[in-house]
Structure 1
Amino acid sequence: MVLASTTITTTKVLANRYDAAVKKGNLIAPKARSGGDDQPGSKLSGPLNYLLIGSDARADDPTAGQRSDTIIIVHVPVSMDRAYLISVPRDLLVQIPPFPATGFPGSREKINGAFDYGRGGEGGVQLLSTTLFDLTGIAFDGAAVVDFGGFTKVIEQLGGVDMCIDERTESQHIGRDEDGKFLPPYNGDYRNPASTPEVYEPGCRRLAPWQALDYSRQRKSLPDGDYGRQRHQQQLLKAMFDEARRQGLATSPRKLDSLIRSVGQSLTVDTGGVPLADLVYALRGVSPTNLVGIRLPSDTQDIGGISYVVAHEDQAAKLYEAIRDDDLDIWAGQNTAWVNGL
């Protein structure tokens, strides 16, 4: 969207075409929407908070359920010149409120269940946004949800990205047998000894689309588990942003048209009624060098034989307050241990 800020506002025809290519939805619950029912998401000046959801839903397996594998709060400060990416751990222990629309009674469990209890789509994000609002007090100006296929299409359209691998990462999903044929290293918890997994060694290099996706999905082989995966996801978003800028998507209507139209049906956005062209133009000052990744102050704990992420109550509360008060610059300077290198 930010990349489109130059091209999308060139003509009304292009703006309308791109606007029509992306699905719209009422993703934010009224309780969690900035401005409430009076002025729902009506502002284009900072500070702004957006909720980004990456769903593990796949078109080839619609019965597998829909979990929000990636949850990122994007905070754009009043200066509108940078963005903070705050990753919410998918295993974060929270109270998910009741959702009458699906008959869900509410429960205390992992936050990524909220999307599924709302039955994915609009209901899923609405329940997730309410859960986050109850937890953090942060109201949202909009949201976007993309499924696994859509994210794959973006990276394939880019033809790969340049990334710096920051730690040795062994794939749980991609491997090969002794003849070089594809053979997953794991089937559930079972390690197939006939498979040699793909390994990403530290260093900077060009990653093919399948490598970039695979690298950013790993967590079980990382010393810091899902925290490492969150960091790698944030790094991948920045790398995609860098690559798109390098290819000139912001000034090439043909390239941008191909990207938006191929991804549009896998992406649902809620801009609070703001025209898409106006929103992307308002975000034109955000660049790849001005993205800051943040990790929620928390740690993993085993509770009743189940692994959860439990927030550090005082530190997490101060982070939520900094987002609400648009003081993340100060918070990040004082809490460098929770800031990811991108």
Structure 2
Amino acid sequence: MASHRRAAPRWAVAALVTGLILVVAVTTTAVGGFLLLDRWQRAVPQEELLDPADQPPTPERPASPRRRPAPAPEGAGDPVTGPLNYLVVGTDQRPDNPGQAAFADAIVVVHIPAGLREAYLVSIPRDLRVDIPGHGTDKINAAYRVGGGGAEGVSLLADTLYDLTGVTFDGAAILDFAGFEAVVDALGGVEMCLTRSVRSIHTGHVFPTGCQRLRGAEALDLARQRYDLPAGDFDRGRHHQQLIQAMVAQARSEGLVTNPIQLDRTIRAIGSAVTIDTGGVALPELVYALRQLRPDRMTGITVPSYSQRIDGISYVLAEPAATTLYQALRDAQLHRWVEDHPEWHND
């Protein structure tokens, strides 16, 4: 039984979390600061992606037993506290085929502990064999598709994850390939420095050793490579982390915050990349609450699992350690779990 250590593609959650960080970076650095928050509020699509019954409680709507009660605000000016759990879905939807319900190409639970200074990115293997409520046993990435995609697909995926892990969510987000490329292009490209050359299995292009500036399509292509790399997905994970840091560095550059045309283009690009369900929290409040979250404070975790063929179909099955991971996630004790299970820490 071979251990399954392949991390789910992290470019999707990287771009989403980077999107929020970019909002903070640009907003808090630019002249006028929070005058930009209204533009972000209007630019980033917000939609109720989770079933209303699973949303955080309000005075008018008592807490659902499937929801972790929302923490009380600490006071005016700091209304968002942790721990927080967000479901991030990266889809394989393509602009040239918008009518087809997509599979979930990446499924990540973003856990932000109390203090909101760090994040744990728990990658759910796309081929994980699970029971999808009302649809029988299948790979977990099918939940988004059989749910119809969009809000309905996210809701069914959240239900599937709840049944599997007992974890509830404070919000959710969807990100697509085209949007990711648009953000990088709007930033004017990013600089990546590679310790070895990487050949694209998709285009044949060779990314040489050393530093180079990449446009959106090139950055996405590099982020998707894992074949021919010594450590496979783990090398790919390092490239993702580099890419996040490069995007944030570019967003914080003086050129962006002093160029109103490029700034507006970046705002609109991030809006095209991400659809967010903030769980009823105003986006400016969420952005401000996450202002101290940085890429070097993100810890990647893969659900302990292994590959196995069942009736001729390749699945991923959870190892016993997955149960302790789910418990640590529910109890907001992931820092201890990572210490005890370093082999599943993929950064």
Is the shorter-chain TM-score for this pair beyond 0.5, marking a shared fold? Answer: yes
Moved more, 54-63 or 109-118: 54-63
- Please show how residues 78-97 of structure 1 align to structure 2 within 5 Å: 78-97=114-133
My pick for the range that moved more, 241-250 or 13-22, is 241-250
Q: Is contact 1:32-1:138 (8 Å) kept? A: no
Larger strand proportion of the pair: 1
Kept in 1: contact 2:187–2:262 (CA 8 A)? no
Residue 62 of structure 2 aligns with an amino acid whose one-letter code is D
1:305 aligns with 2:334: no
Distance in 2, Cα, partners of 1:96 & 1:339: 27
Matched, 1:240 2:247: yes
Is 1:52 matched up with 2:88?
yes
Q: Judge conservation of contact 1:155–1:240 (CA < 8 Å) in 2.
A: yes
**Which amino acid in structure 1 is aligned with residue 138 of structure 2?**
E
How do residues 272-291 of structure 1 correspond to structure 2 at under 5 angstroms?
272-291=279-298
**Structure 1 residues 308 and 162, CA gap change in structure 2 (3 angstroms):** farther
Superposition pairs of residues 251-330 of structure 1, within 5 angstroms: 255-312=262-319, 314-330=320-336
- Over 3 Å counting, the alpha-carbon distance change for 1:256 and 1:87 in structure 2 is farther
Superposition pairs of residues 153-302 of structure 1, within 5 angstroms:
153-163=182-192, 170-174=199-203, 197-200=204-207, 205-209=211-215, 210-219=217-226, 232-233=239-240, 236-246=243-253, 255-302=262-309
**What is the aligned partner in structure 1 of residue 77 from structure 2?**
none
Q: Secondary structure at the match of 1:94?
A: strand
Task: Tell me the equivalent position of 1:149.
Answer: 178
2:41 to 19, 22, 30: 19
Deviates more, 1:272-281 or 1:23-32: 23-32
- Aligned match of 1:4: 23
Structure 2 residue identity aligned to 1:171: S
Of residues 330-339 and 247-256 in structure 1, the stretch that sits farther from structure 2 once superposed is 247-256
- 1:30/1:156 CA distance change after superposition, 3 Å: same
Report if the CA contact (8 A) 1:6-1:251 is conserved.
no
Unaligned runs of 5+ in 1: 99-105, 175-196
Count, aligned residues: 310
What is the Cα deviation at residue 251 of structure 1?
Answer: 8.6
- Displacement of 1:163: 4.2
Letter in 1 for 2:322: A
RMSD: 3.0
Taking the aligned partners of 1:128 and 1:249, their CA distance within structure 2 comes to: 37
- Aligned to 1:61, the other structure's residue is in SS state coil
Does residue 38 (structure 1) correspond to residue 65 (structure 2)? The answer is no
Q: Check conservation: 1:4, 1:256, Cα contact below 8 A.
A: no
Change in CA separation of 1:164 and 1:115 when aligned onto 2, cut-off 3 Å = farther
8 Å CA contact 1:72–1:85 kept in 2: the answer is yes
- The percentage of aligned residue pairs carrying the same residue is 44
Give the AA of the match of 1:23. P
* 1:77 has 2:74 as partner: no
* TM-aligned CA distance change 1:223 to 1:156, over 3 Å: same
SS in 2 for 1:54: strand
| Higher mean C-alpha deviation, range 216-225 or range 106-115 | 216-225
Give me the whole-angstrom Cα distance separating, in 2, the residues matched to 1:52 and 1:137. 17
CA distance in 1, matches of 2:88, 2:318: 20
Q: Deviations over 1:133-187 (max 9, x none)?
A: 111111111111122111111122233334465787543321xxxxxxxxxxxxx
Aligned AA (1:136): T
Q: CA deviation at 1:78?
A: 0.7
What TM-score do the two structures reach when normalised by structure 2?
0.78
Q: What residue identity is the alignment partner of 1:38?
A: P
Moved more, 58-67 or 203-212: 203-212
- Distance in 1 (alpha carbons) for counterparts of 2:294 and 2:259: 17
Q: Which amino acid aligns with 1:25?
A: E
- 1:132 alignment partner AA: L
The one-letter code matched in structure 2 to 1:294 is I
Contact 2:187–2:256 (CA<8 Å) still a contact in 1?
A: no
**SS of residue in 1 equivalent to 2:309:** strand
* SS at structure 1 position matched to 2:168: coil
Which residue of structure 2 aligns with residue 191 of structure 1?
none
Tell me the alpha carbon deviations over residues 250-279 of structure 1, each in whole angstroms, 9 at most, x when there is no partner: 897765432121231442110011110000
Counterpart code for 1:296 = V
The answer to whether the 8 A contact 1:46-1:78 is kept is yes
